[in-house]
Structure 1
Amino acid sequence: MQHAETDYLIIGSGTAGLAFADTLIAESGAHVTIVDRHGRPGGHWNDAYPFVTLHQPSAFYGVNSMELGSGRIDTLGLNQGMAELASGPEISGYFDQVMRHRLLPSGRVRYHPLCDYLGEGRFESLLSGEHTQVRVRGKVVDARYYSPSVPSTHKPRFAVGEGARMIPPNALPGLASTCGAGEVPRRFVVLGAGKTAMDTCIWLVQSGASPDAITWVVPRDSWLINRATTQNGPAFFHEAIGNQADQMEAFAQASSVDDLFLRLEACGALLRIDPARMPTMFHLATVSPAEVEVLRGIRNVVRLGRVQALAADHMLLDGGRVDVQPATLYVDCTASAVDFRPTQPIFQEGKIVLQMLRLPQPAFSAALTAYVEAHYEDDAQKNRLCGSVPFPATPADYPRSMAASMRNQFLWGQEEGLRRWVRESRLDGFGKLMASAARDDAAKQAVIARLREQAQAAMANLPRLLRA
């Protein structure tokens, strides 16, 4: 057995683990050891389907010290007119650069890929089986608590009968090389209602499949964030900050959760695919209006609950049987990108459990957690500043999540150093945008004043929404 020492042992080299490590070495003299089962940094991005992209602009994703993307505005496609969205391969390459050009050259980071953490400071090499015992002078950092499940690695919770052909979305781009001549499927059943299923349906249509050749199994309809309101470039000030003020007004005036979501839809913050249905799911998936239009073109939508079993010629769902045409390909998009674990204190004795501090920004949340760890001594004070924000599953969960997120934002504003770090952080979506507004720009200052006024009113009304 080998032995090593470190100040912080980080379990997981995905977005949260790397964002935490990056800020910690920038704000302290700590030594960091990172352990991960993957062979490359980036966590679940190593297993993502080839056509995946970020939900929101590249400009505020990744680690604080290194830009992701070029700041380009897309001129073509379904994201036209908005900030670029890094693709899965781009993100994997970016995190590899973060490790090789930022973390390791610091001389204070040790990285152990293809290693399984066993607990109690011990990990095992998956290649050699050799164990290493690490003496941790500071804390163990669990960066896996909210790790997503991805289609290529998860196990479906339903039976797949003989003759039923099912693949993860990862395999779609290679169909021409894996199928024989004349055997490439022409009909598809996409299983799942989340962002992965939406991406898959859109990819199929844009790759040439007829919308009428796609059957989409949707257990629950979802509210969606309008990507147009998440832009953080100077050219989008009024769309972004103005819409933030609109959202706060919706929270301030809503009398119920349904009323809240209808108000958020009316101001352009939220979208839904079928305007005739009131969605019962809200996982913060973010799309463009153009993507919604593509999805509305898929008319064969099955709403009979979850899949129970697949056969070559039919599928069984909670609500009954649906016949399937011969040679149809099932695409499994049922893996959940969100692990709905209960929140817990982030700072605990001997460990840190990374969780969300602001929705839906895991990179910003992990980096801010590292800043607080580096600059505050008492765990009670750290937990006061870093209250974990529960991830919503349904619309009814959202007011509680917003209340926790807004409470954090208020407390950060009371701490001078923390307030300055947030304002200067590239991972903060809108702080720099607001700070860049010239004091003599009356129009922008009026928007900021309205945002602050409505945020106070929203906080006053949130207890009513929580009771409702």
Structure 2
Amino acid sequence: MTPKNTDYLVIGAGAVGLAFVDTLLDKDPDCHITILDKHARPGGHWNDAYSFVALHQPSATYGVNSMELCPDRVDEHGHNAGMFPLAKHADILAYYSRVMSERLIPSGRVAYHPLTEYTGAEDGEHRARAILSGEELAFSVRRKIVDATWFQTSVPSTHRPGFEIAQGTPFAVPGDLPHLWRDPGNLPEHYCIIGGGKTAMDTAVWLLEAGVPADRIDWVRPRDSWMFNRKLLQPARHRIEGLIRFQLDLVECAAGSQDGDAMFAKLGERGTMLRIDPEVTPQMFHFAVISEGEIALLRQITRVHRGQRVAKIEPGAMTLGDERVALPEGTMFVDCTASAVPFEQRLNTQPFFDGGRITLQLAQTPFVPYSAALAAFVEANFETDAEKNNLLPPAPLTDSTLTYPYAVMANLMSTAILSANEKTNEFNAKSRLHPTGPAVAQMISEGDERLTALAEVGPKIQALMPDVIRLGMAAKAIHEGA
């Protein structure tokens, strides 16, 4: 088998791999890139997601650097009213198809192999297999292999439930719900959502907005979660005041707290963090972003089961721990227990750059596409692994209230490192994926009056950093001992 030659072999054509390739094309105009992906089209896990999923964050900073994702306008209705748009499932898949067909392949320097599985290296060559035909492929990689699959994203349609399902139990994943209309004679009389994360929240909102009464929904939430308030995380060029307040709230609440729970309590009082039940103190934080409108909807559901995970489901009942709980006859169980990012990956961080291999992780949490694009820029503009890794220490993927201060500290340290380097500072000022860089650069060029408030942020953060580091290091010890 004659190997195909390429400079970079990228495994994965999702948000991570495509953000990396898009930036590398611009910053290294002589390289050739080959992309392998198991899916039939670009977009990675978005191909497997439920049809009513949408971005949690505004679309202005998602995707790839070279192409806008959504029109820059304000939503006028629904639970995102008054805020900038969140790309929908169909929008995202269409976007990534355009990125591939209008940007990457026309460059003449990208080869794309969909429905292809990377199988490993052998005798100095990298091997892959065409999934449908079984054809074996070989690649000679002149520079590096790029792993864009580190996140191991899990969605309901590809997830295996961790509980027993008795024969004959009405069972669905979120993606099944929009198709219930096809069998109108057998619509569920009742629903039970299993899971406490954002997928479960999306599913609950969808059912309520589809007209299902709240008293016909049970919800198993083993742990409640804190969430970012979306109104503060709008595009910087339009509402940088919210981002300034958000950053200062994080730092001030971290500096004035003895642990992560106290920090979240203060953020909740300020409205920076939101929770569904004001009487329950959440222990989970998975970086979800939510609107106050969604919270109002979710609070309508009062049949909530906490503290135990589902061990078994059966027609008209479920087992929580050792307790069997009866449910209305004909209840359909909806499995929302897949974790978009398996948090066990927190134990598997490694250097971004290691000889002939690049492992794309988080440079700043939770900015996934930005981190990948930044890694491409660093790869193209710096020589040694040592200087590259000094610029990009992997950011922690924390998952609880007690460990989140570690992520806050790490992000602030990363910002300081990148700002101190002339090249990365310039990249951030131009990167569409950076949450504030281009907006601040534009404000400076225009002499925007909001610069006065922005100029006060740095000194305030610097003054509070010793206390932020104190709390962050304590959270780091908890995170690494988990």
Residue 238 of structure 1: aligned partner: 241
The answer to whether 1:173 aligns with 2:174 is no
Residue 297 of structure 2: aligned partner: 294
Contact 1:247 1:267 in 2 (8 A): no
The answer to whether 1:357 aligns with 2:368 is no
Post-superposition offset of 1:249? 1.8
Post-superposition offset of 1:268? 2.3
Residue 73 of structure 2: aligned partner: 72
Provide Cα deviations, 1:16-57, integer angstroms capped at 9, x if missing partner.
000000000110021100000000000000011010000001
Post-superposition offset of 1:12? 0.4
Contact 2:231 2:291 in 1 (8 A): yes
Alpha-carbon distance between aligned partners in 2 of 1:361 and 1:319, rounded to the nearest angstrom? 40
Contact 1:388 1:404 in 2 (8 A): no
Contact 1:248 1:451 in 2 (8 A): no
Which of 145, 149, 153 in structure 1 is aligned with 2:154?
Answer: 149
Name the stretch that deviates more: 267-276 or 429-438.
429-438
Alpha-carbon distance between aligned partners in 2 of 1:40 and 1:300, rounded to the nearest angstrom? 40
Post-superposition offset of 1:319? 5.5
Residue type of the alignment partner of 1:49: Y
Residue type of the alignment partner of 1:45: W
Contact 1:304 1:320 in 2 (8 A): no
The answer to whether 1:266 aligns with 2:273 is no
Q: 1:266 to 1:433 in 2, by over 3 A?
A: farther
Which of 423, 431, 456 in structure 1 is aligned with 2:462?
Answer: 456
Contact 1:15 1:363 in 2 (8 A): yes
Contact 2:251 2:468 in 1 (8 A): no
Contact 2:189 2:329 in 1 (8 A): no
Which of 208, 213, 218 in structure 2 is aligned with 1:210?
Answer: 213
Residue 3 of structure 2: aligned partner: 3
| Root-mean-square deviation (Å) | 1.5
The answer to whether 1:112 aligns with 2:113 is yes
Which of 160, 168, 172 in structure 2 is aligned with 1:163?
Answer: 168
The answer to whether 1:275 aligns with 2:253 is no
Q: 1:419 to 1:441 in 2, by over 3 A?
A: closer
Post-superposition offset of 1:266? 2.4
The answer to whether 1:18 aligns with 2:24 is no
Residue type of the alignment partner of 2:45: H
Contact 1:8 1:138 in 2 (8 A): yes
Which of 368, 371, 381 in structure 1 is aligned with 2:377?
Answer: 371
Q: 1:419 to 1:233 in 2, by over 3 A?
A: closer
Alpha-carbon distance between aligned partners in 2 of 1:440 and 1:89, rounded to the nearest angstrom? 36
Post-superposition offset of 1:70? 0.7
Alpha-carbon distance between aligned partners in 2 of 1:306 and 1:233, rounded to the nearest angstrom? 40
> Percent of pairs identical after alignment?
43
Name the stretch that deviates more: 441-450 or 53-62.
441-450
Alpha-carbon distance between aligned partners in 1 of 2:61 and 2:448, rounded to the nearest angstrom? 27
| Unaligned 5+ runs, structure 1 | none
Corresponding residue SS for 1:437: helix
Residue type of the alignment partner of 1:166: F
Corresponding residue SS for 1:124: strand
- TM value normalised by structure 1: 0.97
Provide Cα deviations, 1:107-150, integer angstroms capped at 9, x if missing partner.
11000000111011110001111111111111111000103100
Name the stretch that deviates more: 92-101 or 436-445.
436-445
Name the stretch that deviates more: 42-51 or 301-310.
301-310
Residue 346 of structure 1: aligned partner: 352
The answer to whether 1:255 aligns with 2:258 is yes
The answer to whether 1:431 aligns with 2:437 is yes
Name the count of aligned residue pairs: 466
Residue type of the alignment partner of 1:117: Y
Name the stretch that deviates more: 292-301 or 254-263.
254-263
Contact 1:356 1:389 in 2 (8 A): yes
Post-superposition offset of 1:439? 8.4
Alpha-carbon distance between aligned partners in 1 of 2:417 and 2:296, rounded to the nearest angstrom? 40
The answer to whether 1:467 aligns with 2:474 is yes
Contact 1:304 1:318 in 2 (8 A): no
Contact 2:221 2:304 in 1 (8 A): yes
Provide Cα deviations, 1:419-464, integer angstroms capped at 9, x if missing partner.
0110111101112233333589796233213321232134211232
- TM value normalised by structure 2: 0.94
Post-superposition offset of 1:77? 0.5
Alpha-carbon distance between aligned partners in 2 of 1:128 and 1:467, rounded to the nearest angstrom? 52
Residue 103 of structure 1: aligned partner: 104
| Unaligned 5+ runs, structure 2 | 476-482
Residue type of the alignment partner of 2:61: F
Residue type of the alignment partner of 2:62: Y
Residue type of the alignment partner of 1:10: V
Q: 1:18 to 1:243 in 2, by over 3 A?
A: same
Contact 2:194 2:335 in 1 (8 A): yes
Corresponding residue SS for 1:242: helix
